[in-house]
Structure 1
């Protein structure tokens, strides 16, 4: 019996139609056309027609976009590389601060996102204005290594990262789904960037070795120019690859989250046990407190990455329980760190560093409380995963506001 007749005879058997399609897709598609011509009134065949041919129409429409996207990405990547090299040149002459190298990369990533998201003019002008103000303000600061200025430098990347998020989400900046997509972008970006960076390191090693054999030492020139240019340009390229649905990152990211979350949890618990046994005291040991806070921020970032990659709407998995415990441990660490910094603030007085750390710890504490309460409701089947997503995404502007305050206000307040 011909495939065409078999399709017609099995109209009431969707499982059989699916089996036929999967066994010989091209044969099925060829026979389907004749079957559909004879039975255009069939709703089953109408659905199959859309399934078989809608994607083709969609691809034709999309094929024009990647070409223009690629050209824009290429231009921005070149500008990022050139700008970064120029900035580093003046930084090496001590004309400007090295922190300006951020402005050789992030504005171009923002430009690519704005090109894709096509936001309203007020959003576009706001982002451009904030970036311009940041560039001007950071270069008006005295080139001194005071605490307030160093804190401003340290918080600038967070502020610019939030601006990058606004550029990514565009008109949907208030949407939980859009913010969640941006968080996922960050994890996938790191995977793609690291993969390409490793390839670049191999190319660098090969190039230097080849020139070395020929009697030329180009290492200084290569690292100061080619490597710096490539590192900056690569950030725009990685952004392009992730936003154009690079399957590699999207396939690997969930597995990284599932594998590393339990490993990090085990490492963290072991670390706390060792610290307790060694009687390290964050209330008295300043350096230990700083390391403690660094670990806490890292755990928060890893936890958010795990949540965005593993939380599903319907079913709970072992990853959700691991994430819940990880957040709980982070909350304990945050409570210890917050108590220690408040103790130091009361005992030794106000300094820019202590104010910055206590403010950040309060922010993290509030975020962790929201996340863990939402997670508890999710595990008890009282809430959906959207509650966890809300706790993660709706809190992001708070970090941006605090980063902006430290970046722009601290040098003035503590001058």
Structure 2
């Protein structure tokens, strides 16, 4: 039996499960099967074998109806063995592609690790604190192009897309190095913070490839980002244990590995881990999708409780919010975490499920974050009016305005969804449509703010 015949047999088996639902009309089953076939085709295009793609697609759409969920559970052990244990990729051709992909990943990982050390050939040393003003804004320029290169190779991207991605990374390198960013300076700080964000959206362009206009692929990149972060943290934890063993074992024989660890092992390992994390997400698609939604459901109520308690403390004490740089960064990170919880919850939710208690909890989280954003904006505006603006305050003002717009409309859509006035897909479309706004703002801060404020 050919791979295509086997795939059709699996479609037929799945169709039998679906048709057991008497309330489903044939047209409903046809629509579900069409959705499943489209998902399989997309996954096959990313490099999975037809058999793997079918199992992953069924697992992803398992929450659309109970029978699909049952089918996904029944075959989950088979999926795990295929993706993790056996390495079966659908025959000799799939094996060859998997081996090529592994070697391409290794090459990109080595390239990222080497890129961190290349500046030392030109006098920039990680050991010298004065040279951190070079590494701080350039860390994304040195590492993220290799992840983008791996994704472009995997997507079989055309020359035009490769040229656009390369041009954007070159623009990022210009923004990091062409301006006279003194150390210390606010311009250096905001460039170091915003350039990696801007370049991550370039990685997004490599990830979505020719489908950059579709909401589905943008949401896939949201999942990719969350899963990359999880893998990177796991790799970092393992790297920390490895570092401890290296330090202890070499010190036991009278050798001090501090220089090797600080100047080679940690920076090169961290740079290479960025590519490895991306490869793991691509190679083990949807395996981590079971972890991230659990983390989202765990931390959403915790963050909601913290934000509501903080707002209560503000009301009781009547204390204003400190808008110094460290405080601004803290509050912006807090709002970004809230947005991340919302995004990943949206990406993992069954769009056909009715509103429930968790949706009400998310609404409370977004509304409380919205209230904090308003308080921060009022404080920033008051400081700018009374004392003038600085690059930090201007960047924070713009970011909080952008977050305010997103959170405000998200709160309205969540409220309408909880009241059953709008479908959940409206929330998903809004979040994916808004992603380019963040990318545009990050580029504005990197390229426009330094000369606008005389590189202060």
Q: Which category describes the TM-score, using the shorter chain as reference length?
A: 0.7 to 0.9
| Distance apart, 1:65 and its partner CA | 2.5
CA distance in 1 between counterparts of 2:327 and 2:181 reads 28
Structure 2 partner of 1:28: none
Q: 1:335-346 alignment to 2 at 5 Å?
A: 335-346=374-385
* 1:292 and 2:324 matched: no
- Specify the SS of the correspondent of 1:217: coil
CA distance in 1 between counterparts of 2:325 and 2:153 reads 45
CA distance in 1 between counterparts of 2:283 and 2:151 reads 12
Q: Would the alpha carbon gap of residues 366 and 337 (structure 1) be closer, same or farther in structure 2, given more than 3 Å must change?
A: same
Q: 1:59-78 alignment to 2 at 5 Å?
A: 59-60=90-91, 62-78=94-110
Preserved CA contact (<8 Å) 1:180 1:308 = yes
How big is each residue's C-alpha offset from its partner over 1:98-126, in whole Å with a ceiling of 9 and x where there is no partner?
12122221111111111122334332211
Q: Would the alpha carbon gap of residues 275 and 361 (structure 1) be closer, same or farther in structure 2, given more than 3 Å must change?
A: same
CA distance in 2 between counterparts of 1:366 and 1:260 reads 23
Structure 1 partner of 2:58: none
Structure 2 partner of 1:221: 260
Choose 1 or 2 for highest CA Rg: 1
| Distance apart, 1:319 and its partner CA | 2.7
Structure 2 partner of 1:24: none
CA distance in 2 between counterparts of 1:127 and 1:287 reads 33
Match of 1:378 among 405, 413, 417: 417
* 1:90 and 2:124 matched: yes
Q: Would the alpha carbon gap of residues 234 and 289 (structure 1) be closer, same or farther in structure 2, given more than 3 Å must change?
A: closer
* 1:392 and 2:431 matched: yes
Structure 1 unaligned spans of 5+: 1-10, 19-51
Q: 1:261-280 alignment to 2 at 5 Å?
A: 261-280=300-319
Calculate the aligned-residue CA RMSD, in Å. Answer: 2.7
How big is each residue's C-alpha offset from its partner over 1:160-183, in whole Å with a ceiling of 9 and x where there is no partner?
111111111111111111010111
Q: Would the alpha carbon gap of residues 251 and 290 (structure 1) be closer, same or farther in structure 2, given more than 3 Å must change?
A: closer
Preserved CA contact (<8 Å) 2:338 2:369 = yes
Q: Would the alpha carbon gap of residues 373 and 120 (structure 1) be closer, same or farther in structure 2, given more than 3 Å must change?
A: farther
Q: Would the alpha carbon gap of residues 394 and 284 (structure 1) be closer, same or farther in structure 2, given more than 3 Å must change?
A: closer
| Distance apart, 1:287 and its partner CA | 5.9
- Specify the SS of the correspondent of 2:353: coil
- Specify the SS of the correspondent of 1:160: helix
Match of 2:148 among 102, 105, 110: 110
How big is each residue's C-alpha offset from its partner over 1:285-311, in whole Å with a ceiling of 9 and x where there is no partner?
776555433422332233323332335
Q: TM-score, normalised by structure 1?
A: 0.81
* 1:151 and 2:172 matched: no
How big is each residue's C-alpha offset from its partner over 1:335-365, in whole Å with a ceiling of 9 and x where there is no partner?
2222222222222223322221221111111
CA distance in 2 between counterparts of 1:216 and 1:66 reads 40
| Distance apart, 1:73 and its partner CA | 0.5
Q: Would the alpha carbon gap of residues 118 and 321 (structure 1) be closer, same or farther in structure 2, given more than 3 Å must change?
A: farther
Structure 1 partner of 2:398: 359
How big is each residue's C-alpha offset from its partner over 1:78-115, in whole Å with a ceiling of 9 and x where there is no partner?
11011113346714355661121222211111111111
- Specify the SS of the correspondent of 1:395: helix
Structure 2 partner of 1:23: none
Q: Which is further off, 294-303 or 195-204? A: 294-303
Q: Which is further off, 271-280 or 133-142? A: 271-280
| Distance apart, 1:269 and its partner CA | 1.6
- Specify the SS of the correspondent of 2:255: coil
Preserved CA contact (<8 Å) 2:197 2:442 = yes
Structure 2 partner of 1:36: none
Preserved CA contact (<8 Å) 2:181 2:187 = no
Q: 1:244-283 alignment to 2 at 5 Å?
A: 244-246=283-285, 248-282=287-321
CA distance in 1 between counterparts of 2:379 and 2:146 reads 40
| Distance apart, 1:251 and its partner CA | 2.0
How big is each residue's C-alpha offset from its partner over 1:45-83, in whole Å with a ceiling of 9 and x where there is no partner?
xxxxxxx9xx99972354332221111111000110111
Q: Would the alpha carbon gap of residues 293 and 253 (structure 1) be closer, same or farther in structure 2, given more than 3 Å must change?
A: closer
Structure 2 unaligned spans of 5+: 1-12, 21-74, 83-87
* 1:192 and 2:226 matched: no
Aligned length: 366
* 1:349 and 2:388 matched: yes
Preserved CA contact (<8 Å) 2:165 2:206 = yes
| Distance apart, 1:248 and its partner CA | 4.2
Preserved CA contact (<8 Å) 2:247 2:256 = yes
Structure 1 partner of 2:139: 101
